[in-house]
């Protein structure tokens, strides 16, 4: 994949060095592309990073960059948060790696905040207040941003019609999704995996480089990313 990245940089350099729009023939372009050697195992890792599929591992003999055995556990954590079962999610995270929450106080606070939100959602006002005093208030005293978030959450209790209160978004499903995404990212980071697949980023980079090169040269470009076929540009 590093060679693929180098190739993209070389294309960008062509654009930078060109002083006037030049014509690059298909023969010249294909020769340049053919001179680039991409190792098969690098390409396999790139594809595996994107699809994370067990059948690819069996067919190619490439060990996946992401441990497939951990995917089910990670998805279970996300689903638990998305369903509002935060206690279960915290237990699952600790089973995966206790250091995730021990070393990330902001994430732990957000999970605890989500627990309080779920108590309020279920009409357990007294339990929510008690939880706020015992679990969230001490953390708020240590961090001003935590305190502000706690105050916003407690504000839900001051309104009878929470659906139309100034902080009603905390009860929206998007708040659960936001917390679930944060947890998922932390788990991936702890496993030394990237949050986003590499392939889409590389394709976006390819499109950007081609758009820049179009200003300086006419060359066989890739218009259909899915087909990856070179097409002669009109001079």
Helices (H), 61-131: 68-82, 86-96, 99-102, 105-121, 125-131
The pLDDT value recorded for residue 61 is 55
| Sign of torsion over alpha carbons 176, 177, 178, 184 | positive
The pLDDT value recorded for residue 95 is 92
The pLDDT value recorded for residue 188 is 84
Q: Specify whether 76 is located in the same domain as 50.
A: no
The pLDDT value recorded for residue 158 is 86
Q: Specify whether 98 is located in the same domain as 172.
A: yes
Q: Specify whether 122 is located in the same domain as 56.
A: no
The pLDDT value recorded for residue 157 is 87
User: What are the structure tokens assigned to 234, written together?
Assistant: 């009109």
The pLDDT value recorded for residue 141 is 82
CB atoms within 10 A of CB 179: 22
The pLDDT value recorded for residue 211 is 80
**Any idea how long the chain is?**
235
Q: Taking the mean position of all CA atoms in its chain, how far away is CA 228?
A: 26
Q: Specify whether 149 is located in the same domain as 46.
A: no
Per-residue pLDDT of the chain (235 residues; tens, 9 = 90+): 433 333 444 544 544 444 466 788 888 877 877 777 777 776 666 666 555 554 445 555 555 555 555 778 888 999 999 999 999 999 999 998 999 999 999 999 999 999 999 999 999 999 999 999 999 998 888 888 888 899 999 999 888 887 788 898 999 999 999 999 999 989 988 877 555 556 566 667 777 777 877 777 788 887 777 676 777 765 5
Distance separating alpha carbons of residues 175 and 169, to the nearest angstrom:
7
Specify the residue for token string 């993209």: 8
Q: Specify whether 168 is located in the same domain as 218.
A: no
> How many domains are contained in the chain?
2
217-218 and 22-23 beta bridge pairing: parallel
CA distances to 14, 114, 158, 180, 207 from 173, in Å? 48, 11, 21, 11, 35
Residues 6+ apart with CB under 8 A from 117: 153, 156, 170, 171, 175
Q: Specify whether 74 is located in the same domain as 184.
A: yes
The pLDDT value recorded for residue 36 is 74
The pLDDT value recorded for residue 177 is 92
Q: Which of 98, 97, 80 is nearest to 89 (CA)?
A: 80
| Cβ–Cβ < 8 Å for 229, 23 | no
The pLDDT value recorded for residue 89 is 96
| Cβ–Cβ < 8 Å for 151, 143 | no
Q: Specify whether 90 is located in the same domain as 177.
A: yes
Distance separating alpha carbons of residues 18 and 26, to the nearest angstrom:
18
The pLDDT value recorded for residue 1 is 41
Q: Specify whether 10 is located in the same domain as 37.
A: yes
Q: Specify whether 181 is located in the same domain as 75.
A: yes
The pLDDT value recorded for residue 59 is 52
| Sign of torsion over alpha carbons 192, 193, 196, 198 | positive
The boundaries of the domain holding residue 203 are 2-65+195-231
Q: Specify whether 136 is located in the same domain as 165.
A: yes
Q: Specify whether 40 is located in the same domain as 75.
A: no
Q: Specify whether 30 is located in the same domain as 118.
A: no
């Amino acid at each position: 994949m590093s060679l693929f990245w180098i190739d993209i940089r070389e294309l960008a350099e062509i654009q930078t060095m060109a002083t006037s729009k030049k014509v690059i023939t298909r023969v010249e372009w294909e020769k340049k592309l053919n001179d680039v050697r991409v190792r098969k195992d690098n390409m396999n890792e790139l594809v595996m990073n994107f699809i994370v599929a067990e059948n690819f591992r069996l067919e190619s003999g490439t060990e996946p960059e992401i441990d497939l055995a951990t995917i089910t556990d990670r998805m279970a954590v996300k689903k638990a948060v998305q369903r509002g079962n935060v206690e279960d999610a915290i237990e699952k995270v600790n089973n995966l790696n206790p250091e995730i929450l021990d070393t990330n106080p902001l994430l732990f606070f957000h999970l605890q905040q989500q627990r309080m939100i779920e108590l309020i959602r279920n009409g357990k006002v007294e339990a929510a207040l008690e939880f706020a005093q015992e679990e969230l208030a001490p953390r708020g005293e240590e961090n001003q941003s935590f305190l502000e978030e706690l105050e916003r959450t407690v504000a839900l209790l001051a309104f009878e019609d929470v659906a139309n209160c100034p902080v009603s978004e905390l009860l929206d499903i998007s708040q659960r999704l936001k917390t679930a995404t944060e947890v998922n990212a932390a788990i991936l980071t702890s496993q030394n995996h990237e949050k986003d697949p590499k392939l889409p980023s590389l394709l976006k980079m390819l499109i950007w480089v081609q758009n820049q090169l179009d200003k300086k040269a006419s060359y066989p470009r890739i218009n259909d990313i899915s087909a990856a076929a070179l097409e002669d540009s009109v001079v």
